[in-house]
Amino acid sequence: MALVELEGVSKSFGSVTAIDDVSLTVAEGEALGIVGPNGAGKTTLLNVICGNLQPDRGRVVFAGRDLTRAGRHEHCRAGIARTFQIPRPFAGLTAYENVLVGATYGRGGSDHQLQSVCVDALRRARLLDKANAPAGTLTLLERKRLELARALATGPRVLLLDEVAGGLTEPEVLELVETVKELRAEGVAIVWIEHIVHALLSVVDRLVALAAGRKLIEGDPQTVMQSPELQDVYLGSEL
């Protein structure tokens, strides 16, 4: 049974259709990449999966449970966590305190349990040495790691990454890719939107390409990236 199932999902904003009849699955422990030009509907798709948005049509099923009309907190408690392209931590709180907020509201538990969860999330995100640093003093890479740690503190079975490598230097991208690989090796399923294609291809098992809100092509990452359909979307048919 698939862990995540989208069945004919559509979402519009006024007269603009952001997602148009998209179906896809993510298996337990799988890493799925999503590519496409700006405006293709990629971030909207993540927002539907995590419950930030409800689809106009179609179903969102997670581990056999229909979450289509469930609130975002129900998605989170079920095991779906999301990072954002632009990290916005609570700048005046420490890294640990930021993660504690995520654990408290996204997972719950006793004080002792939450402390253990937060330390483990920081360790897995390779940010434990910055646990007591104010979030406002962190570098961009460290803030990206804090995004990961906050998401991990909720205990996700699937982690949705929205351009987590964006804005980083090449060495920083490689560092972050190693962290994502480690999380994937632990059994966390990954759904990753990323414009830094080599980072994406080093992690994912399968690619889905979107264009104008519709699924254009799906399959082996190299095959999808070399497909005429995707090249046409990025470069134009005359090229």
Q: Vertex 91, ends 85 and 97: CA angle to 5°?
A: 100
What backbone phi and psi angles, to 5 degrees, belong to 59? -130, 150
Q: Report how far residue 97's alpha carbon sits from residue 149's, in angstroms, rounded to the nearest whole number.
A: 11
| Alpha carbon 231 to its chain's center | 24
Which domains are present in the chain? Answer: 1-79+156-239 (3.40.50.300), 85-155 (no CATH)
What backbone phi and psi angles, to 5 degrees, belong to 182? -65, -40
pLDDT score recorded for residue 74: 95
pLDDT (tens, 9 = 90+) of the chain, 239 residues, equals: 799 999 999 999 999 999 999 999 999 999 999 999 988 999 999 999 999 999 999 999 999 999 999 999 999 999 999 999 999 999 999 999 999 999 998 888 888 899 999 999 999 999 999 999 999 999 999 999 999 999 999 999 999 999 999 999 999 999 999 999 999 999 999 999 999 999 999 999 999 999 999 999 999 999 999 998 888 877 654 33
Starting at the edge strand found earlier in the chain, the sheet holding 31-35 runs 80-82, 158-162, 189-193, 31-35, 206-211, 214-219
**What does the CA dihedral 172, 175, 179, 184 come to, rounded to 10 degrees?**
100
- Global pTM reads 0.93
48 contact partners, CB below 8 Å, separation of at least 6:
6, 9, 11, 19, 54, 55, 60
- β-sheet bridge partners, residue 25: 5
**What does the CA dihedral 120, 89, 165, 46 come to, rounded to 10 degrees?**
90
pLDDT score recorded for residue 235: 62
pLDDT score recorded for residue 230: 87
Per-residue tokens: 163: 């351009």
